Amino acid sequence: MGKILIVDDEKNVLSSFKKVFSQEGHTIVAAGNAEEGLSCAQKDAFDLLIMDIRMPGISGLEAFSRFKEIDSKMPIIIMTAYGTTETAIEAMQKGAFDYVLKPFEVLKMKELIEKALAASRIMKTEVSFDTNEQADGERIIGFSSPMQEIYKTIGQVASSDVTVFLRGESGTGKELIARAIYSHSNRKNKPFLVINSAAIPETLLESELFGYEKGAFTDARERRIGKLEQCNGGTIFLDEIGDMPVSIQTKILRVLEDKSFERLGGNKTITVDVRLITATNKNLETLIKEGKFREDLYYRLNVVTVKLPPLRERKDDIPQLVEYFLNKYNKELKKEFAKMSPEALAILEQYDWPGNVRELENVIKKALLFAKGNVLLSENILLQEKTPEKQKGQVAHLQELLAGLVKKGLASRSSGLYKDVIEEVERTLILETLKQVNGNQSEAVKILGISRPTLKDKIDKFGLRKVISLQES
């Protein structure tokens, strides 16, 4: 849901756009020319601007620059007709979010709007270390000593242009810290873009970052400006850099060293001024040994490294985090203020949180969704895994069981004990799961974390069809 300003001199474009996208839940303001659009943007803040690049009156590029001056963080999508893409490409070099050809396809436009609104949200939501609960935006919670160390480091480096490398398990807050650094940097009024190497296929990742020239490959009908160029003057967050292919690592190393690169299929060297923040939850040292990460890039990144502690190493922060998320989701879910019972809090404090803060946040959100009344009870706390105590019990039980099997194997002078035991464990696990989900294979697949064909194979291998039909009848 966003507030979108659309500027076009074609009345029918404005009206059809308004019709389609207000239905999507967006608030649409339409302006018939650049001057009118500019005065709208001056009076009011928008999450996104969509504008035709060729209108009567002031030139498209001129209008573009003036919109940028009014709100440098508002993403701008350019609409352009065939034959005028040169100007659109130029606008992208100046930081436009993207361009579309007119007449636009609704589905494509929808997708692009979602992407732009997400980027806008990230850029415009300030992340603070403020303890003041009234503070706007998001906050980083935690007063434990490892967190204090982190605040100190960030304080030292945020305002300089130094590259910061964020490490830590999944869900420890790397992206949040990256955004906090941006919020506190001298580039806070310039763009901030996120590129996630794990989420983009290799070939696309390269053109996303560096762009390409017309004819660089079969589909390259026009020059394309990459994110590095688009984000000139701003900050790029290279998330999951451990998943970046080595060939692209080489190019990133060069960007770090002399701020330059070439577009794919081009030989003109492009120079950019971007600050890089990088993050990974992978063990890069291992990846280096496996030849999957460049050692020289590793040293280059490792200048200022911020290691985010897993939540289990800063359990002191749990009560404060709980309160923060309770507040957040009470508001979001429009709940009456719900409090945590002491017993429920005790459970949260004991748990080891393999999924870190993200897992805690999800557990609280779920608890609020299902709680009746305004106090969260222990029974509302649904943890993914068994509590450590229960787990220990299970391990002990399994140990006993296996010890028994080994004894039997010794007595019978078995020569295939490994295979026998693994098969027995597998058979029992699948049998028990099928029993407990009443033969529901979809549920069994989910709990076990195996694919449906694998489950079918196992059922046949161990002759468990009977169990399913018994449970189903």
Footprint on this chain of Mg ion (rule: CB under 5 A)? 175
Rounded to an integer, what distance in angstroms lies between the CA atom of residue 244 and that of residue 200? 9
* Partner touching 357 among ligand ATP, Mg ion, none, CB below 5 to 8 Å by kind: ligand ATP
Residue from the set 53, 122, 140, 264 that interacts with ligand ATP by CB under 6 A: 140
Check: CB of residue 32 under 8 Å from CB of residue 11: yes
Name the one range near ligand ATP by CB under 6 A: 7-15, 79-87, 140-148, 208-216.
Answer: 140-148
318-332 helix and 342-350 helix, angle to the nearest 10 degrees: 120
Of residues 27 and 170, the one with the C-beta less far from ligand ATP = 170
Least distance CB 36 / ligand ATP (angstroms): 38
User: Counting contacts by CB under 6 A, is residue 174 touching ligand ATP?
Assistant: yes
Of residues 320 and 433, the one with the C-beta less far from ligand ATP = 320
Rounded to an integer, what distance in angstroms lies between the CA atom of residue 295 and that of residue 287? 9
Least distance CB 134 / ligand ATP (angstroms): 16
Residue the block writes with tokens 């955004």: 179
Least distance CB 111 / ligand ATP (angstroms): 23
Of residues 335 and 358, the one with the C-beta less far from ligand ATP = 358
Residue from the set 61, 162, 176, 448 that interacts with ligand ATP by CB under 6 A: 176
For the chain, state the CA radius of gyration.
28
Rounded to an integer, what distance in angstroms lies between the CA atom of residue 9 and that of residue 309? 54
Least distance CB 196 / Mg ion (angstroms): 8
How are strands ordered across the β-sheet holding 27-31? 27-31, 3-7, 48-52, 76-80, 98-101
User: Rounded to whole angstroms, what are the CA distances from 415 to 406, 408, 424?
Assistant: 11, 12, 15
How many positions of this chain bind ligand ATP (CB under 6 A)? 16
Of residues 122 and 255, the one with the C-beta less far from ligand ATP = 122
User: Counting contacts by CB under 6 A, is residue 170 touching ligand ATP?
Assistant: yes
* Partner touching 171 among Mg ion, ligand ATP, none, CB below 5 to 8 Å by kind: ligand ATP
x/- site string to ligand ATP, residues 345 to 364, per CB under 6 A? ------------xx--x---
Mapping DSSP onto H, E and C, the string for 314-341 reads HHHHHHHHHHHHHHHHHHHCCCCCCEEC
User: Counting contacts by CB under 6 A, is residue 242 touching ligand ATP?
Assistant: no
Of residues 313 and 426, the one with the C-beta less far from ligand ATP = 313
Rounded to an integer, what distance in angstroms lies between the CA atom of residue 181 and that of residue 166? 11
344: left (phi over 0), alpha (psi -120 to 50) or beta: alpha
User: Counting contacts by CB under 6 A, is residue 13 touching ligand ATP?
Assistant: no
Residue from the set 168, 226, 242, 310 that interacts with ligand ATP by CB under 6 A: 168
The closest of 13, 57, 65, 20 to 36, measured between CA atoms, is 57
* Partner touching 176 among Mg ion, ligand ATP, none, CB below 5 to 8 Å by kind: ligand ATP
Rounded to an integer, what distance in angstroms lies between the CA atom of residue 379 and that of residue 343? 10
Q: How many CA atoms lie within 13 A of 360 on its CB side?
A: 31
DSSP calls for 130-173:
---TT-SSEE----SHHHHHHHHHHHHHTTS---EEEE-STTSS
Respond yes or no on whether the N-terminal peptide bond of residue 103 is cis (omega within 30° of 0).
yes
Least distance CB 241 / Mg ion (angstroms): 11
Name the one range near ligand ATP by CB under 6 A: 65-73, 172-180, 245-253, 432-440.
Answer: 172-180
User: Counting contacts by CB under 6 A, is residue 171 touching ligand ATP?
Assistant: yes
Check: CB of residue 420 under 8 Å from CB of residue 406: no
Of residues 39 and 125, the one with the C-beta less far from ligand ATP = 125
Least distance CB 122 / Mg ion (angstroms): 12
Name the one range near ligand ATP by CB under 6 A: 136-144, 208-216, 391-399, 417-425.
Answer: 136-144
Residues in 287-346 at the binding interface with ligand ATP, rule: CB under 6 A: 324
* Partner touching 358 among Mg ion, ligand ATP, none, CB below 5 to 8 Å by kind: ligand ATP
Of residues 345 and 357, the one with the C-beta less far from ligand ATP = 357
The closest of 178, 150, 147 to 240, measured between CA atoms, is 178
Name, in order, each residue with C-beta under 8 angstroms of 42's C-beta and a sequence gap of 6 or more.
70
Tokens of residue 60, six digits: 């498209």
Q: Looking at beta carbons, which residue is closest to ligand ATP?
A: 173
Residues that bind ligand ATP (CB under 6 A): 140-142, 168, 170-176, 281, 324, 357-358, 361
